[in-house]
Structure 1
């Protein structure tokens, strides 16, 4: 039985099992066609051991996306003598998860008659971005909800569907991929925010592939920055620092100091879970310096302008110092964040307030801590991150002052207002 050594070598490079490769291919097929693929471990076995010498179009396109090269470089030979079109490779700043893709991947979609294809233009992109702005607004008002994640993925499918049903210039094609990557990245963030970490990892894999196709550095920054946040929330600081470094190394951070500021501030939050106070101060200093250099009126993607400002800078500083148990500094940053926070960012206000009460409790200020916790709007108490912070607050309060008046007051409040949370 002949072994496809080229395919096997590529799988070893990415440390993929047959099952894992099948799952990635199914994800790619879903991204391109809107329907999840039916690739199985048996399919991969047949590809590896010669039973399938030339995969059918959807499988071939999925392989090319996963490995970032044409099928001819994976040990497969066309059944006919028709020339193999080599794809345009896109440089992607990434590690193992990110792949490049070729224009051939589009050919895997459901074929459309040439005389019925319409031209995809900038107006189609603008229409999608208008819908995207609504998702961003909903995300920052509510956050973490499965409906936001689902809506974002549906928009990503709608964006890719434009390329299946119509023709487009290379510039528009890249813009569509960037738009789909943005939507998928929003789904990833909604999953992170809602503590659905397995789903977030799947969205990361898909979003990074789409971002690679687009060549858009701003969306590549967002995706790798989100990956850093994902691993921070999972308590994996080494992976978090590596992912966030991938974002910080992108040239967009040199061209636009606001991107550099966000990268540095999120790096500080990761250093917080390591308890490295020196690194926190150093990276927050870099973040503040970059933020002060940034031109605030410069055109930027809506996902950036919707949330990142001085209040968010202080919010990330709060998270960093709270994780490092530098409670007094965390409290100071929390007050500054809340004072500068835009009123529509309801979720951020609730999370920052929950961090503030934890910082106050860390300084044994029981009465202010309980009053702060009780000031969090009831509508935001179901948010997974807010609820998690308040559960930690409750446990700490019981350890520090189990019989105090403040503990009894909080327990009565929590029993009434937190019992309905999922």
Structure 2
């Protein structure tokens, strides 16, 4: 793989992650190879991990602030001399390997001390993935990047000399693995998500981290609901309620009750669903909204609770209340949450459709495509659009309206 080919591969991986190709140049690659730039930008680091199938530190890059080993100068040789110190980049996408010269310290010669700076660096990586997910939703490149992060966290914990740092690294590995599972759930690719969640739950237990345990149960409830396994969705949400962190933090309790409400609504237990929704609202009213949330819960707040309220109200047969809750969610949603905004917009369209306002519903549903312009439609949004199409065919006063909607959006909606 030449420097140009590597730059192109990195740019494509950045495009897969963010929806917009990267701007890595051949000169940038040469700066990596020479050691002039020993710590690429965050998106380039993630893209390199995807392209090579190796973690960024395994590739020989050194985080800023870490002690660097001095490498003795090599005698001048022609660039093509095979005796130049080399590190192999393994191309995960193509299955081929390419030798790329990187005059950095070998993995065995780098300092093995692992500490808080590594934990902070990996936590920053988690935050980068959360930001990407908020913008364009789950996708395969995001899953691969998350699994690479989990692999690095687990490798580092083997080198840690303190139990506290080891547990924090196990927690990060659980966080990354949960992010990989969520990426599949959001993309509508459910087959591998359960396996990731089983692994994440094990890692959360090894970390003795109640917060990570709740994250897994929250995702398990979402996965079960998407599979139509509503009794399991309720059980998983109730397991989230039972975690220590949910008993101690009102915001966590609110999320667990809200997730239970969705499962109960789909199970047909409408009274219990509304009671759980009320408990979610009560818990949030007791929360200190200025208290920072863990990274995985950054999505949860008044906007998300309004969105869940809209889902529950529509399922239990209160479309007017669902429409009002959808509007409240759209007002409260941060601008960066494009996927969530598109999803709430489709829910709004469904609530309007269920009240017989077909023309308004059709116009509203079209806004979801405008919101996601330039990005593939995430799997969960496509699923909601499928629900809208089904109900539109059933409830529209004439077949012409439904056919026109399908013809207009078929290409955008069906493209993964």
1:234 alignment counterpart: 227
- Cα distance, 1:396 vs. partner? 1.9
Out of 386, 391, 396, the residue aligned to residue 391 of structure 1 is 386
Residue deviations 1:374-421 (CA, integer Å, cap 9, x gap): 1112535621121122222222222222626643542342246435x1
2:282 alignment counterpart: 289
1:272 alignment counterpart: 265
Q: Note the 1:135-146 alignment, pairs <5 A.
A: 135-146=129-140
1:316 alignment counterpart: 308
- Cα distance, 1:324 vs. partner? 2.8
Instruction: Classify the secondary structure of the residue corresponding to 2:217.
Output: helix
**Aligned-partner Cα distance in 1 for 2:289–2:160:** 36
1:22 alignment counterpart: none
1:195 aligns with 2:206: no
Residue deviations 1:251-302 (CA, integer Å, cap 9, x gap): 2112210100111111111112113221122111111111011112223311
1:152 alignment counterpart: 146
**Aligned-partner Cα distance in 2 for 1:286–1:399:** 34
- 2:377–2:412: 8 Å Cα contact kept in structure 1? no
Q: Note the 1:9-408 alignment, pairs <5 A.
A: 118-164=112-158, 166-304=159-297, 306-376=298-368, 377=370, 378-379=372-373, 382-401=377-396, 403=398, 406-408=401-403
- 2:223–2:233: 8 Å Cα contact kept in structure 1? yes
**Aligned-partner Cα distance in 2 for 1:172–1:267:** 34
Instruction: Classify the secondary structure of the residue corresponding to 2:191.
Output: helix
**Aligned-partner Cα distance in 2 for 1:416–1:192:** 22
Kindly tell me: are residues 287 and 369 of structure 1, through their superposed partners in 2, closer, same or farther at Cα, counting changes over 3 Å? Answer: same
Kindly tell me: are residues 124 and 417 of structure 1, through their superposed partners in 2, closer, same or farther at Cα, counting changes over 3 Å? Answer: closer
**Aligned-partner Cα distance in 1 for 2:261–2:161:** 42
- 1:331–1:356: 8 Å Cα contact kept in structure 2? yes
Residue deviations 1:209-250 (CA, integer Å, cap 9, x gap): 100000111111111111111111111111111111111111
- Cα distance, 1:205 vs. partner? 0.9
Kindly tell me: are residues 135 and 401 of structure 1, through their superposed partners in 2, closer, same or farther at Cα, counting changes over 3 Å? Answer: same
Kindly tell me: are residues 300 and 393 of structure 1, through their superposed partners in 2, closer, same or farther at Cα, counting changes over 3 Å? Answer: closer
- 1:357–1:369: 8 Å Cα contact kept in structure 2? yes
Kindly tell me: are residues 172 and 416 of structure 1, through their superposed partners in 2, closer, same or farther at Cα, counting changes over 3 Å? Answer: closer
Count matched residues. 309
1:104 alignment counterpart: none
Task: List structure 1 segments (4+ residues) > 4 angstroms apart after TM superposition.
Answer: none
Kindly tell me: are residues 254 and 415 of structure 1, through their superposed partners in 2, closer, same or farther at Cα, counting changes over 3 Å? Answer: closer
**Aligned-partner Cα distance in 2 for 1:392–1:181:** 33
Kindly tell me: are residues 343 and 290 of structure 1, through their superposed partners in 2, closer, same or farther at Cα, counting changes over 3 Å? Answer: same
- Cα distance, 1:308 vs. partner? 0.8
List alignment gaps of at least 5 residues for structure 1. Answer: 1-33, 36-111
- 1:268–1:284: 8 Å Cα contact kept in structure 2? yes
**Aligned-partner Cα distance in 2 for 1:168–1:240:** 39
List alignment gaps of at least 5 residues for structure 2. Answer: 1-52, 55-106
- 1:117–1:167: 8 Å Cα contact kept in structure 2? no
- Cα distance, 1:178 vs. partner? 0.3
1:418 alignment counterpart: 413
Kindly tell me: are residues 167 and 121 of structure 1, through their superposed partners in 2, closer, same or farther at Cα, counting changes over 3 Å? Answer: same
**Aligned-partner Cα distance in 2 for 1:116–1:141:** 36
- 1:272–1:322: 8 Å Cα contact kept in structure 2? no
Superposition CA RMSD, Å = 2.1
- 1:274–1:324: 8 Å Cα contact kept in structure 2? no
**Aligned-partner Cα distance in 1 for 2:376–2:151:** 32
Kindly tell me: are residues 418 and 198 of structure 1, through their superposed partners in 2, closer, same or farther at Cα, counting changes over 3 Å? Answer: closer
Residue deviations 1:75-97 (CA, integer Å, cap 9, x gap): xxxxxxxxxxxxxxxxxxxxxxx
**Aligned-partner Cα distance in 2 for 1:411–1:162:** 51
